[in-house]
Copies of this chain bind each other. A is one copy, B any other.
Amino acid sequence: MEYNRKNVPEAVIRRLPRYHRYLGECLKNGIKRISSLELSKRMQVTASQIRQDLNCFAQFGQQGYGYNVENLYMEINRILNLTETQRIIIMGAGHLGSALANYPNMKTRGFVVKAMFDIDPKKIGTRVADVPVYDVAALDEWMKTEGADIAVLCIPKETVGEVAQHLVDLGIRGLWNFSYADLKVEPAVPIQNMHLIDHVMMLSYQMKEAEL
């Protein structure tokens, strides 16, 4: 199936992983088809929003029948490009990097952590969740011989800009940034910024709202 993927609104893209999660749960529970109304109840989004979202990609579902759960799940899998294995490296083997190496949901979705890099001699040579921790000095050689698609950045913000640019020079295709800095690299590659503090600030806002 060919998709018209141009200009898909960011809000739609943000909902795709949720569709993926809910449909995955339906599959696990043996549900074979689902109405957009039923799906909308689970997702707490209107049924017409769901139809609009999915129509950004292709015509899914059938009037009066609803969605075939497995088909829709597989298509969203394809849209999110989860059918291919992505090779991940984690820069920084501190608490956060280690938490991500241990994160069970990565591997099951094709995101395989291949190596971690650090500058701390105490960490270099160890393994975290069976992933080897290498000296960052070995990064260039490793990228040449092994290669990676995505680098996860769990390093201080003072050095993250330089490291990110270096990774792009070495051929990395996407960055998942946990440092509190907004990165710019040349040539541009997709970047997901995880500014954790932003989310607790939003929570703070919502708590104040709830009070008023």
Residues of A bordering B, CB below 8 Å = 5, 11, 13-14, 16-18, 20-21, 79-82, 86, 94-96, 98-100, 102-103, 105-106, 109, 111, 149-150, 173-176, 180, 189-192, 194-210, 212
Contacts and interface: CB of A to CB of B under 8 A. Distances in A.
A190 B211 CA distance: 10
Interface of A is mostly: helix
Nearest to A173: B207
A72 B198 CA distance: 18
Given A81-B204, A174-B207, A206-B190, A197 B17 contact: yes
Tally of this chain's copies: 2
Contact of A17 (B176, B190, B201): B201
Contacts of A176: 199-200, 203
A203 B150 contact: yes
Contacts of A208: 80-81
A209 B10 CA distance: 13
A205 B96 CA distance: 24
Given A80-B205, A100-B196, A180 B11 contact: no
